[in-house]
């Protein structure tokens, strides 16, 4: 599994969540034992067959287990660590390899759902995105790593100009045009711009949390 750096401060600069974080219930991470705000940990539940499932909505019944969304903890999870759960649950082992796949597949579905919801207001493709860059609202730009040099330069220039005029942009790199196309129900998409204000801010916040777990997306810049 590829590891992605947690974009520090992203949430605070795009939408001020610090107040919310301080009021959030705390959950302790199974790996590092630290207490973290609920929205910064991934919840897991164990089913009757002893299989561990990620519970992204944090609403599934039963007792949960929590892992924090840090690269450090993610890299330390293995079957030996999961063994600690045997004190509380009757889990089957080994299952970390399968669990990792379950996490990836659940995140893929969740991301698709989140992005599909935004698609009616999304600017899809180069021309639409370049036009949207003139907009004063905070933007999240999803750009495929195989978008092509010319488009990368063009968007980098545009983002630089936005920054100079005080407009906020979050640039997220995604693994391929094909993947981005899949997220928006098209064949191939090189670049997408999404509104990062209002209700869309929640999507940006979640994306920020998920990208640590999910190797296909990575925050490249936030300004």
Chain residues binding Zn ion by CB under 5 A are 29, 31-32, 68, 73
Give the N- to C-terminal CA distance of the chain in Å, as an integer. 28
Q: Is 164 left (phi over 0), alpha (psi -120 to 50) or beta?
A: alpha
Q: How far apart are CB 39 and Zn ion at their closest, in Å?
A: 14
Rounded Cα distance, 209 and 104, in Å: 13
User: Closer to Zn ion at the Cβ: 44 or 179?
Assistant: 44
Q: How far apart are CB 117 and Zn ion at their closest, in Å?
A: 29
User: Closer to Zn ion at the Cβ: 73 or 99?
Assistant: 73
User: Closer to Zn ion at the Cβ: 29 or 207?
Assistant: 29
35-37/41-46 β-pairing: unpaired
Rounded Cα distance, 32 and 84, in Å: 13
Rounded Cα distance, 140 and 194, in Å: 5
Q: How far apart are CB 73 and Zn ion at their closest, in Å?
A: 3
User: Closer to Zn ion at the Cβ: 10 or 41?
Assistant: 41
Q: How far apart are CB 124 and Zn ion at their closest, in Å?
A: 36
Within 13 A of 6's CA, how many CA atoms are on the CB side? 16
User: Closer to Zn ion at the Cβ: 32 or 51?
Assistant: 32
Q: How far apart are CB 213 and Zn ion at their closest, in Å?
A: 12
């Amino acid at each position: 599994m590829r590891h992605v750096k947690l974009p520090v401060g992203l949430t605070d600069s795009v939408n001020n969540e610090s107040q919310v974080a301080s009021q959030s219930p705390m959950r302790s991470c199974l790996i590092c034992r630290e207490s973290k705000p609920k929205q910064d940990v991934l919840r897991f539940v164990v089913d009757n067959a002893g299989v561990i499932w990620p519970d992204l909505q944090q609403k599934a019944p039963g007792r949960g287990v929590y892992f924090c969304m840090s690269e450090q903890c993610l890299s330390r999870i293995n079957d030996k660590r999961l063994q600690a759960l045997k004190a509380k649950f009757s889990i089957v082992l080994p299952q970390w390899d399968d669990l990792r796949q379950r996490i990836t597949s659940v995140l893929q579905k969740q991301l698709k759902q989140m992005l599909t919801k935004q698609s009616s207001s999304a600017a899809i493709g180069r021309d639409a995105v370049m036009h949207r860059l003139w907009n004063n609202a905070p933007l999240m730009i999803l750009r495929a790593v195989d978008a092509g040099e010319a488009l990368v330069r063009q968007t980098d220039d545009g983002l630089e100009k936005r920054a100079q005029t005080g407009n906020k942009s979050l640039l997220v790199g995604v693994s391929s045009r094909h993947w981005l196309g899949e997220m928006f129900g098209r064949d191939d998409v090189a670049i997408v711009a999404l509104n990062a204000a209002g209700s869309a801010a929640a999507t940006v916040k979640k994306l920020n949390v998920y990208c640590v777990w999910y190797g296909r997306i990575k925050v490249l810049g936030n300004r």
